[in-house]
């Protein structure tokens, strides 16, 4: 029997075990994460994490495609989805489909992710109708914020809770293969996740989601400009990188680096 396609395999994990997802923006990071993740997201959070921008709104489609290609060069195991950036899909279903087609054709990734629910149902339908896999994203929508100060946790009122449920249902109806649920209060996140017919992937949402995602640089302790409450640091690499830079600085200034072993010689290796 042929292997299941990656998107079907991802969907089939629902109810079997928790689903493991992380972001990846570069080839070396993809190589390090690929075997340990069910999904790698080339998230537009790279605008803030890699490019130092104040929000995720100013990254363009070409940049997302360039990073998507880098990740796909090291992909072997994980499903790879790429964010459609702000400005590349909201205008019309036709614009959304054209952007999704570019991403998939130019990177070879398995799917795209869009932010929004009811408001973009027709846009998602245009993409899934063309046979391209889509991941949804509801709750806190970073593309709607000018800066982290505008990031707003949702589900605090009955109306917000009802809207989240409507957003989830609209995306499922539009044919998404999974939904990221970001920044949603409990027990609303649990209730929406329980009703969700495709894998629900939490970030700052419920442990009862079908899986979890974090920004890799957050969980590695490499990005300290903004640390959301929902992050657990599984490593603290920023101080390690700083310590390595200090050691390098001292070695170069002291003339301890490079050593003979690091040099090239006309006749091959130097005999010591």
Interface ranges with ligand KIV (CB under 6 A): 23, 41, 43-45, 83, 137, 180, 182, 203, 213, 215
Token duo for residue 152: 């707003």
Of 125 and 182, which has the nearer Cβ to ligand KIV? 182
Residue that is written with structure tokens 């072997």 in the block: 76
Element (H, E) at 136: strand 133-139
Closest approach of Cβ 143 to ligand KIV, in Å? 9
State the nearest-atom distance from the C-beta of 123 to ligand KIV, in Å. 17
Q: Which of residues 44 and 125 has its CB atom nearest to ligand KIV in the complex?
A: 44
Most distant CA atoms of the chain, gap in Å: 77
* Helices assigned H by DSSP within the chain: 6-12, 27-33, 46-49, 61-72, 93-107, 121-129, 158-174, 188-195, 216-219, 237-254
The residue (of 103 and 242) whose beta carbon lies closer to ligand KIV is 103
SS3 26: coil
- Establish whether 115 is a catalytic residue: no
To ligand KIV, the closest distance from the beta carbon of 245 in angstroms equals 26
DSSP 35: G
- Cis peptide before 187, with omega less than 30 degrees from 0? yes
Nearer to ligand KIV by Cβ, of 43 and 211: the residue is: 43
**Tokens coding 103:** 């991403």
Nearest distance, CB of residue 96 and ligand KIV, angstroms: 17
Q: Which is nearer to ligand KIV, 86 or 257 (CB)?
A: 86
**Interacting residues of 83 by C-beta distance below 8 A, sequence separation 6+:** 41, 42, 43, 44, 64, 112, 113, 114
Phi, psi of 147 (to 5 degrees): -160, 175
By beta-carbon distance, which residue lies closest to ligand KIV? 43
Cβ-based neighbours of 130, under 8 Å, separated by 6 or more: 97, 100, 101
Name the catalytic one among 146, 182, 217, 259.
182
Minimum CB separation of residue 43 from ligand KIV in Å reads: 2
Catalytically active residues are 182
């Amino acid at each position: 029997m042929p292997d299941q396609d990656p998107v079907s395999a991802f969907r089939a994990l629902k109810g079997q075990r928790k689903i493991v997802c992380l972001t990846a923006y570069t080839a070396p990071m993809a190589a390090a994460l690929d075997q340990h993740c069910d999904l790698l997201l080339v998230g537009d959070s790279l605008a803030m994490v890699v490019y130092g921008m104040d929000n995720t709104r100013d990254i363009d489609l070409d940049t997302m495609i360039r990073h998507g290609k880098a990740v796909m060069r090291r992909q072997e195991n994980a499903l790879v989805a790429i964010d459609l950036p702000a400005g590349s899909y909201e205008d019309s279903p036709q614009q959304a489909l054209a952007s999704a087609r570019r991403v998939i054709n130019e990177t070879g990734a398995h799917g795209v992710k869009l932010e929004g629910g009811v408001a973009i149902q027709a846009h998602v339908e245009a993409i899934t109708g063309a046979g391209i896999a889509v991941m949804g994203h509801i709750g806190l929508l970073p593309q709607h914020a000018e800066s982290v100060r505008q990031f707003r946790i949702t589900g605090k009122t009955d109306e917000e809770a009802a809207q989240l449920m409507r957003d989830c249902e609209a995306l499922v109806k539009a044919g998404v293969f999974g939904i990221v649920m970001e920044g949603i209060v409990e027990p609303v996140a649990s209730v929406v996740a329980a009703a969700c017919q495709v894998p629900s992937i939490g970030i700052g949402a419920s442990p009862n989601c079908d899986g979890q995602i974090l920004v890799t640089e957050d969980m590695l302790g490499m990005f300290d400009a903004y640390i959301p409450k929902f992050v657990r640091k599984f490593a603290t690499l920023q101080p390690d990188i700083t310590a390595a830079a200090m050691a390098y600085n001292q070695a170069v200034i002291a003339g301890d680096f490079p050593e003979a072993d690091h040099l090239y010689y006309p006749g091959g290796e130097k005999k010591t």
